[in-house]
Amino acid sequence: MHEFCPKCKYPKTHPFGLSITDSECSGCFTHREKDTIDWAVKREELESEIKKYKKKKKQYDCIVPVIGDAEDFYTLSKVLELGLSPLVVCVNDYFKNDIGWHNLHQLITHFDVDSFVFNPDIRVYKDLVRTSLRKFDHIMLPFLQLHTSFPVHVAYERNIPLIIWGQNQAVEQVGKFSHHDTVQMSKWSRRQHDLFEVETEFLIGNGAQVDVRNLNYYQYPAPEVINRRGIKGIYLSNYFRWDPLSQNQSVVDFGFKPERNFSSFDIYERAGSSVYYGLHDLLKYKRHGYRKVDDHVAREIRHGRLSSEEGMIISNHYREIPVDIEPFFNWLDVTSSGYEWFCQHRLSSLGHLISRDSSDVKEIILPDKINDKLSQSTDAINHHMLFGKGLFI
Amino acid sequence: MRVGSVVLLKEQLCVQSYGWNTIRPLGSLQGVLDSLEEYQCDEVAIIRPVRKNDTLNKFQQDIKVIKALKTMTPISFGGGVRSIEHLNLLKGLPIERIIFSSAFLEKKRELITLAKDLFGHQAIKCLLPICYQNNKVHVYHSSLGNYVPLSNIDTKFIDELANEIVLFDTQHEGGKDQFDWLLLSGIPFPLEKIIISGGIGKKTKLSAQQQNIASVLIDNKVLHQEYSILDYKYA
């Protein structure tokens, strides 16, 4: 039995599951479909699919859930190119830094779209994050629960039956479905791929002492209800040849600001998050045995910008880069002794990856094919900004 | 007519198979069944896609997952039930029906009769993975790992002992509305006894209903969109 894909080096421990043969994994196999698909036909399929959602009056045709990521710029540009009138919906994860807030505002103002930013009750949210960390070694679950259910609630309440997502991660990362399956959003997929089977109810009870009335938007509506309203969620990566690094580089022209990244060469994906390449990445390493850079390396090997050998060198380099996780614990109102206890007991095997200072990190020389896709990046100044627009609490 | 689903269980996790040769991961069995129950799926056939290299130990590992299942949906289980030792492991599991494939092809009367005594005649299903090769219907013989002509199979034996027969189109597995109806032309079983699977779409379901076929089992497609079963039911 193979533990890693011989080609892209993805591990079998990937939480989405991975089928590995002697020559490649399901992710590599599915990626090769991209070279055989007639993408013009796919686009026609998409145009025919969305035709019935286009409204004649001044109403929204669809919802586009965003976080202010580079991919959101690309997705929104495609939605507008298709002639749709979107309502952009964002859930505040309270983890954004100044670059994250800049990018979110830039997204909305550059494309001049209507937006709706939901700020969940922060006491409830922090309680859930605390429990999620304690029980599941994961700090993003409450956000992911909201990010994947709140737009569906908005779709239902405002009668906007089409939700457009960017990439289907399960297809892009592990090739769980063929592009030809044109898999749609579903409660099952959300639980399996976004929540790792941890629904909100797992975070309450003996965890967070939260009134269930506060959790409505964390929970996905019943499929029966969604079906009755005719709500459908589609993924653009089933209809456009998806190449995140190239796409993300292109959105710099729209005013997207990349962020310097010490934990991977990818300066676009989740730029503007105070935790994504910090504690979140470390916990991912603890849970699954690989870091975010391994996702990036696998992706670039498949796109032919890295060889397997180059990929391994890059992964080995970034996998050993330490990160500063203390600001997260300050955000969570954990005492310094609590922070030290956590590092000592819950991150004992990863102690060498915790550091307050990343300035002495050695640079790695990247292959030209990767370098050509990277733009100028900057460092964030303010981290863990709860709200944007200059208001800092 | 009943609209159910086929779920493949490999190494304790669900997988999807395309065209009988490509495996893609799916997820946990409980997660899949929770959704199918919510979708009002009439029945679920959990099948271990095993070939000749299956072992009792692998079977036991998969049985542990079946044992832990919590579901109200009627479950059929099969794949690698090849001896009385295997059969004994199925006692007390939350399953309604047992699916045999190689046991029927190898005419293991003692094994199937014992299963019939333990679970009842209505619980016995025969799975025939079939395809068209050289203008003839062939059946995939799982324990041998190859196709054999249907003409070499004792279909009377199957008809006598199986309450229902699942005809699985291996070539169109994972496809949409691609089930090959020609496969039924040489099949000597009454249509009311037949369940079809492999490449089922809404049009296939409609045709199956018109032909009085007992049931359709949707393969991979069932989890590719929300509340899919209802769409098939009212197709």
CB-CB under 8 Å, A232 with B226: yes
What is the mean predicted confidence (pLDDT) over B88-114?
Answer: 95
CA geometry: angle A23, A364, A138, nearest 5 deg: 70
- The minimal CB distance from B35 to the residues A26, A187, A232 is found for A187
Which residue of B lies nearest to A225 if distances are taken between CA atoms? B227
Q: Which amino acid is at A110?
A: H
**Stretches in chain A below the pLDDT threshold 70:** 1, 358-360, 389-393
CB-CB under 8 Å, B225 with A186: yes
At which residue do the structure tokens 């919906």 appear? Answer: A89
| Residue-by-residue DSSP string for A80-128 | HHTT--EEEEEE--S-B-HHHHHHHHHHHHHHT-EEEEE---HHHHHHH
pLDDT at position A356 is 80
- The minimal CB distance from B31 to the residues A174, A192, A224 is found for A192
Which residue of B lies nearest to A16 if distances are taken between CA atoms? B27
Whether chain A has a CB inside 8 Å of the CB on B154: the answer is: no
pLDDT at position A211 is 84
Smallest CA-to-CA distance from A182 within A236, A143, A139 is with: A236
pLDDT at position A208 is 77
Query: For residue A50, what is the enclosing H or E element?
Result: helix A39-51
Contact B44, B75 (CB under 8 A): yes
CB-CB under 8 Å, B224 with A183: yes
Window A:214-273, CB contacts with B under 8 Å? 222-224, 226-227, 231-233
Q: What pLDDT, in 10s, does the model give residues A227-270? A: 999 999 999 999 999 999 999 999 999 999 999 999 999 999 99
| Paired residues of A163 in beta bridges | A63, A233
Contact A154, A221 (CB under 8 A): no
Residue A146 CA to residue A219 CA, distance in Å, equals: 7
- The minimal CB distance from A223 to the residues B25, B174, B226 is found for B226
Interface A–B counts its CB contacts (< 8 A) at 79
CB-CB under 8 Å, B35 with A188: yes
What is the mean predicted confidence (pLDDT) over B148-161?
Answer: 96
Whether chain A has a CB inside 8 Å of the CB on B55: the answer is: no
CA distances (Å), A273 to each of A23, B149, B191, in order?
36, 60, 59
pLDDT at position B135 is 87
Interface probe, candidates A181, A190, A197, chain B, greatest B C-beta count within 10 A: A181
Q: Which residues in chain A have their CB less than 8 angstroms from residue B226's CB?
A: 184-187, 223, 226-227, 231-233
Whether chain A has a CB inside 8 Å of the CB on B15: the answer is: yes
Contact B143, B186 (CB under 8 A): no
- The minimal CB distance from A176 to the residues B24, B28, B38 is found for B24
Query: For residue B155, what is the enclosing H or E element?
Result: helix B155-161
- The minimal CB distance from A177 to the residues B24, B35, B230 is found for B24
Whether chain B has a CB inside 8 Å of the CB on A392: the answer is: no
Contact A99, A378 (CB under 8 A): yes
Q: Which residues in chain B have their CB less than 8 angstroms from residue A186's CB?
A: 35, 223-226
Q: Which residues in chain B have their CB less than 8 angstroms from residue A223's CB?
A: 35, 38-39, 226-227
Q: Which pair of tokens denotes residue B142?
A: 């799982």
Which residue of A lies nearest to B35 if distances are taken between CA atoms? A188
Residue B198 CA to residue B49 CA, distance in Å, equals: 14
Categorize the per-residue pLDDT at B168 as very low, low, confident or very high, splitting at 50, 70 and 90. very high
Whether chain A has a CB inside 8 Å of the CB on B22: the answer is: yes
- The minimal CB distance from B224 to the residues A184, A192, A224 is found for A184
CB-CB under 8 Å, A176 with B26: yes
Q: Which pair of tokens denotes residue A190?
A: 């959300």
Please determine, for residue B163, whether its predicted confidence score (pLDDT) is greater than 90: yes
Whether chain B has a CB inside 8 Å of the CB on A12: the answer is: no
Percent of chain B clearing pLDDT 70 (strictly above): 100
Query: For residue B117, what is the enclosing H or E element?
Result: helix B109-119
pLDDT at position A251 is 98
ipTM of the complex: 0.92
pLDDT at position B180 is 94
Q: Work out the mean pLDDT of chain B and round it to a whole number.
A: 94
- The minimal CB distance from B223 to the residues A26, A188, A197 is found for A188
Q: What pLDDT, in 10s, does the model give residues B26-77? A: 999 999 999 999 999 999 999 999 988 899 999 999 999 999 999 999 999 9
Q: Which residues in chain B have their CB less than 8 angstroms from residue A184's CB?
A: 224-226
